[in-house]
Amino acid sequence: MTEAPFVYVDEDKIISHLLCAVCQQPFINPHKPACKKHTFCFSCVKTLSSCPTCRHSIHGVEELKPAEDQMLLTLLNELVVYCSFRKRGCSWTGPRENLEAHKERSCEFHHCCWTARGCQTKASKKELPKHQVDCEYGDAQCPEGCKFVCERRFIANHLDQNCAFIKQRRREEELRENQRKQKVGTFERRVL
């Protein structure tokens, strides 16, 4: 059994002929075993050794045939589902067969790939790459060239406090400044 990828609107009103006896959910990729009488989701029946309804034996996955009942397939395709990202705020509902296209083309609730790090950005599949290129939570390398990598939002802090390259440069500048002061001092002692 697989986790239900669809959340149905009006789940209670779905007619029982559309439900798989194994998972109790509307068929996904419906197939019939060798008994040719009963229908199950492919993933529900593919590992079984007999039909769950009539016990007719199943000798292998090659015995399973896709259900060809057009009425059944149409009714399944027309079941109304919520968008998978409903909990993130997407209010889309539509026929089950359109869900993939909605998510690919119009859903604006895809998560940034750095969600686990705390990025809250949601966008369409098309817009997301633009955000991810300079997402504050993405990896960034120190622009000074010290090879240090951290989340982009911490780079300023690194440059301010920890960058070995910048520290080295400051030490060199201090050194030059001290040498300059010494020279000026020597010069002043000589002329005064």
- Applying CB under 5 A, the residues found at the interface with Zn ion are 20, 22-23, 35, 37-38, 41, 44, 51, 53-54, 56, 83, 85, 90, 92, 107, 112, 114, 119, 121, 135, 142, 144, 146, 148, 163
Question: At closest approach, how far in Å is the CB of 161 from Zn ion?
Answer: 10
- State which amino acid sits at residue 33: P
Question: At closest approach, how far in Å is the CB of 15 from Zn ion?
Answer: 16
Residue 116: Cβ within 10 Å count? 9
Question: At closest approach, how far in Å is the CB of 67 from Zn ion?
Answer: 12
Beta bridge partners, 66, equal 31
Beta bridge partners, 151, equal 139
Question: At closest approach, how far in Å is the CB of 94 from Zn ion?
Answer: 9
Name the residue nearer to Zn ion (CB basis): 76 or 85. 85
Name the residue nearer to Zn ion (CB basis): 91 or 191. 91
Name the residue nearer to Zn ion (CB basis): 37 or 181. 37
Name the residue nearer to Zn ion (CB basis): 171 or 180. 171
List, in order, residues 6 or more apart from 42 with CB less than 8 Å away.
Answer: 28, 29, 30, 31, 64, 66
Query: For the chain, what is the largest distance between any 2 Cα atoms, rounded to a whole number of angstroms?
Result: 114
Answer whether 64's CB lies under 8 Å from 27's CB. Answer: no
Instruction: Locate 9 and state its tokens.
Output: 């609107």
β-pairing, 65-66 vs 40-41, is unpaired
Name the residue nearer to Zn ion (CB basis): 46 or 56. 56
Question: At closest approach, how far in Å is the CB of 173 from Zn ion?
Answer: 16
Numbers of helices and strands, H then E, in the chain: 6, 9
